[in-house]
């Protein structure tokens, strides 16, 4: 019954945009939430940290206007807590720095509801850091002030101490001041701040779409108008702005400003996406492969039962290793069951996947594809030898056919299934439709074929117009061309690291 048990509210500062900037405690509290009330400045990625069955309520802005009045947000927090719910109030930046968190706490206190405030990194700290602007510097200034650039419209007069802010050399950071930028600059100059004082505007600070515009008090308003610079942004005034060109580190990375769609399987996209993000790219994850267990383990179990009779075991993917050893474990066996078998791994990533099992491959071909495996075995005498090739259901038949032709006895049981998802993530589809994707990476023929299948070939070709294609190797590139795509990037070495390096080298 409502009111029989009071809930609890966490006011969580989400940070200025980069989801990695939320605190450890913030993550923990978000993970307990039954209701999440979030703002538009809080990165949507953070909502994934909440339990899957949590109620998500948007309290941000729509079309530049507030979706809910602050009084409505206060009432909603009280209402949900009085229902006995654990509520997470997820706010961009820090709740107590121009976040109106104090007002929300007052409403909770009045209702007798327990709460906890989890600090967040405010935009004045996070965005300036990512822009390469230290707010204080021993040789420049030892003070900083945070000021609202958008005072309450109900005030009879400004409460900003323009004279105090204008005199001296302290750094001043204005929040929410883009609309009032001309009057901010005029007030500072009228009260003694030099017209040549450096100014920086930082929009969407800490995000891949971060923009920085620099100027002086005398010209920054005109520059912003000419460029169409809009909110959300902060304004930084002070000599520390001059340090940006020397200290910038975030927006001068090689792929900054480039948007890349990664079509790798959902369980494997993270490492590659993370590498591209560290290089500065805006990454859209678009899994086009779902990996699943085989419909039947009968073939694989038969091979595992006679594992000590195989001279060679050939692994051509991370998933082959994962599902092979996963099934071995389910059967109560471990690596010792491989006995005298020698192991071939198609490339360094597959070899790395074997390391946790204490296996160092006996053979890693120089050419990281099926043909490379065949070429290496052609140098050996494998006639009459037994070879085990655990594979995916859509694997090419090059290895079993060619090794059989060499006289080997090959068993090729299906160890896992490659499924095509019904759809791609809405965010990724929208980015393609709106022309926001600069490049799509394909790491196997299946990723290309599946994306075309999900979208439909005509729509696939339409959405890929003007988009650069990065393919991991010649087999994948051949599939791209067969489906009507031009391949712009293909590394000499068929690895994800080499593919990332190719994106960096490309002349965008």
Helix (H, G, I), strand (E, B) or coil at 287: coil
Q: How far apart are CA 14 and CA 359, in angstroms?
A: 43
Q: Is 478 a catalytic residue?
A: no
Of 176, 223, 367, 406, which one is the catalytic site residue? 176
Q: Is 464 a catalytic residue?
A: no
Q: Is 61 a catalytic residue?
A: yes
Of 6, 32, 61, 223, which one is the catalytic site residue? 61
Cβ atoms of 145 and 224 closer than 8 Å: no
HEC readout, 95-152: CCCCCCHHHHHHHHHHCCCEEEEECCCCHHHHHHHHCCCCCCECCCECCEEEEECCCC
- In this structure, the dihedral spanned by the alpha carbons of residues 121, 126, 128 and 129, taken in order and rounded to 10 degrees, is 130
Using the CB atoms, write b or e for 458-482: b if 16+ within 10 Å: eebeebbeebbbbbbbebbbebbee
Parallel, antiparallel or unpaired: strands 55-58 and 35-38: parallel
List the structure tokens of 288: 């086009």
Using the CB atoms, write b or e for 397-413: b if 16+ within 10 Å: eebbebbeebebbbbbb
Strands ordered across the beta sheet of 312-315: 342-345, 312-315, 386-388, 409-411
Q: How far apart are CA 172 and CA 145, in angstroms?
A: 5
Cβ atoms of 111 and 228 closer than 8 Å: no
Of 39, 391, 464, 489, which one is the catalytic site residue? 39
Q: What distance separates the 2 farthest-apart alpha carbons in the chain?
A: 94
- DSSP-assigned letter for residue 485: P
Active-site annotation, residues: 39, 61, 176
């Amino acid at each position: 019954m409502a009111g029989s048990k009071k809930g609890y509210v966490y006011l969580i500062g989400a940070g200025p945009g980069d989801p990695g900037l939320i605190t450890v405690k913030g993550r923990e509290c978000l993970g307990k939430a039954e209701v999440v009330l979030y703002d538009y400045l809080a990165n949507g990625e953070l909502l994934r940290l909440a339990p899957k069955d949590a109620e998500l309520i948007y309290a941000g802005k729509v079309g530049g206007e507030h979706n809910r009045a602050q009084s409505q947000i206060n009432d909603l927090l009280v209402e949900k807590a009085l229902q006995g719910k654990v509520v997470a109030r997820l706010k961009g930046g820090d709740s107590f720095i121009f976040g109106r968190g104090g007002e929300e706490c007052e409403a909770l206190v009045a209702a007798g509801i327990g709460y906890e405030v989890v600090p967040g990194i405010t935009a004045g700290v996070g965005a300036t850091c990512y822009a390469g602007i230290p707010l204080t510097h021993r040789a420049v200034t030892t003070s900083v002030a945070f000021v609202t650039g958008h005072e309450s419209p109900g005030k009879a007069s400004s409460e900003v101490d323009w004279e105090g802010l204008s005199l001296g050399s302290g750094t001043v950071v204005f929040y929410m001041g883009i609309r009032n930028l001309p009057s901010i600059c005029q007030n500072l100059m009228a009260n003694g701040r030099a017209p040549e004082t450096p100014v920086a505007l930082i929009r969407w600070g800490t995000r891949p779409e971060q923009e920085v515009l620099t100027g002086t008090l005398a010209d920054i308003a005109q520059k912003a108008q000419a460029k169409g610079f809009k909110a959300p942004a902060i304004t930084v005034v002070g000599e520390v702005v001059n340090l940006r060109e020397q200290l910038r580190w975030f927006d001068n990375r090689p792929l900054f400003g480039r948007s890349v769609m990664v079509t790798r399987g959902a369980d494997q996209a993270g490492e590659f996406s993370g590498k591209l993000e560290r290089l500065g790219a805006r990454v859209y994850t678009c899994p086009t492969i779902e990996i699943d267990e085989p419909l039947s383990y009968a073939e694989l179990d038969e091979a595992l039962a006679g594992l000590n009779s195989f001279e060679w075991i050939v692994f051509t993917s991370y998933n082959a290793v994962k599902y092979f050893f996963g099934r071995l474990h389910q059967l109560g066996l471990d690596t010792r069951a491989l006995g005298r078998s020698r192991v071939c791994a198609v490339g360094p990533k597959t070899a790395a996947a074997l390391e946790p099992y204490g296996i160092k491959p006996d053979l890693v071909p120089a050419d990281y594809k099926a043909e490379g495996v065949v070429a290496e075995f052609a140098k050996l005498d494998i006639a009459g030898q037994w070879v085990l090739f655990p594979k995916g259901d859509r694997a090419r038949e090059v290895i079993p056919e060619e090794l059989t032709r060499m006289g080997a006895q090959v068993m090729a049981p299906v160890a896992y299934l490659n499924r095509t998802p019904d759809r791609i993530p809405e965010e990724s589809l929208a980015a393609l439709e709106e022309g926001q994707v600069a490049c799509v990476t394909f790491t196997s023929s299946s990723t290309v074929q599946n994306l075309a299948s999900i979208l439909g070939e005509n729509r696939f070709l339409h959405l890929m117009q003007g988009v650069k294609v990065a393919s991991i190797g010649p087999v994948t590139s051949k599939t791209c061309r067969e489906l009507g795509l031009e391949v712009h990037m293909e590394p000499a070495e068929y690895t994800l690291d080499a593919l990332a390096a190719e994106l960096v080298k490309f002349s965008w």
